[in-house]
């Protein structure tokens, strides 16, 4: 019995927030298949039998953070992956406060609360935190301004966190996928014609272009593999685009004049 308990303690433990579908689900699968103890924290259970599920809503105050503390107390915590996300297509002029506040609760404040819960458990032994951001945090997604803003905030959070936490051997990475083929494309909140007012035709074009970009983009398993590499890296990067093409796009957006970047970006979403 003692040997069995020792073996269990030697298994690295990860908590994945938002692991019931998409990138989070693929991350759970990769980790359990490689011997990790994995807890999924989300409103919906991960259907992999090897994954422990704790039901929680990241937008419901400390609910997900409390679940993370429970998981860490039971199994330990070597890694945290924050993969929960929400998107809304709406013009800035007509966006409702309740909608964009909810978006930031899911995309940013949920990640912040999860980190605050994880850090005390990691300070003794160290750990890795991966925040799933978006290339849209560098180059804005037209008519998805709040999503882009929330993902840009994750990048800055990762940068600042490393300044504070590297002394404890805690490393935080914001990973930036580009378009990824998941059901996220079909869960996006899209304002209707009346809500969009004079912008409605452009919003519809932008939403269609974005969905096409996502569904023709990389597989979520590819992003999950990048997350795994970050978790086992001794000193992972602070912000990284996912894949060679997205890395090139990110570099180009930083080298080109900003007005040219925005012009080209607008053309992509107005096709």
DSSP assignment string, 188-249: -EE--HHHHGGGHHHHHHHHHHHHHHHHTSB-HHHHHHHHHHHHH-SS--SEEESSHHHHHH
Residue 62 CA to residue 211 CA, distance in Å, equals 32
Predicted model pTM: 0.91
* pLDDT digits 0-9 by tens, 2-36: 444 443 457 999 999 999 999 999 999 999 999 99
Q: Tell me yes or no: is domain 11-269 CATH 3.30.70.20.
A: no
* pLDDT digits 0-9 by tens, 204-250: 999 999 999 889 899 999 999 999 999 999 999 999 999 888 888 88
Strand partners, 54: 41
Which SS3 state, helix, strand or coil, does residue 76 take? coil
How many residues make up the chain in this entry?
271
* pLDDT digits 0-9 by tens, 34-79: 999 999 999 999 999 999 999 999 999 999 999 999 999 999 999 9
CA distance between the termini of the chain: 63
Contact 202, 271 (CB under 8 A): no
- Packed helices 110-122 and 145-165: angle between N→C axes, nearest 10 degrees: 20
- Percent of residues in the chain assigned helix, strand, coil, to nearest 5: 55, 15, 30
Domain boundaries, the chain: 11-269
Token readout for 19 is 């692991």
Residue 38 CA to residue 47 CA, distance in Å, equals 13
Token readout for 178 is 């580009």
């Amino acid at each position: 019995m003692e040997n069995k308990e020792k073996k269990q303690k030697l298994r690295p433990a990860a908590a994945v927030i938002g692991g019931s579908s998409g990138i989070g689900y693929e991350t759970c699968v990769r980790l359990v298949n490689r011997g990790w103890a994995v807890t999924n924290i989300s409103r919906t259970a991960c259907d992999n039998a090897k994954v422990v599920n704790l039901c929680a809503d990241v937008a419901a105050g400390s609910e997900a953070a409390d679940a993370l503390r429970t998981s860490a107390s039971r199994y330990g915590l070597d890694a945290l992956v924050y993969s929960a996300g929400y998107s809304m297509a709406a013009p800035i002029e007509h966006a409702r406060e309740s909608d964009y506040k909810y978006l930031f609760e899911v995309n940013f404040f949920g990640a912040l609360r999860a980190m605050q819960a994880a850090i005390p458990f990691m300070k003794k032994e160290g750990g890795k935190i991966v925040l799933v951001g978006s290339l849209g945090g560098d180059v804005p997604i037209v008519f998805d301004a709040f999503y882009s803003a929330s993902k840009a905030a994750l990048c800055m959070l990762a940068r600042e966190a490393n300044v504070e936490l590297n002394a404890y051997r805690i490393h935080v990475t914001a990973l930036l996928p580009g378009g990824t083929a998941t059901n996220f494309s079909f869960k996006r909140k899209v304002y209707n014609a009346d809500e969009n007012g004079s912008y409605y035709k452009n919003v519809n074009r932008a939403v269609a272009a974005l969905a096409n970009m996502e569904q023709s983009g990389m597989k979520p398993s590819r992003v999950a593999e990048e997350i795994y590499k970050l978790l086992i890296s001794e000193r992972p990067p602070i912000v990284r685009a996912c894949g060679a093409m997205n890395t090139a796009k990110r570099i180009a957006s930083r080298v080109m004049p900003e007005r040219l970047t925005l012009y080209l970006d607008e053309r992509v979403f107005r096709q």
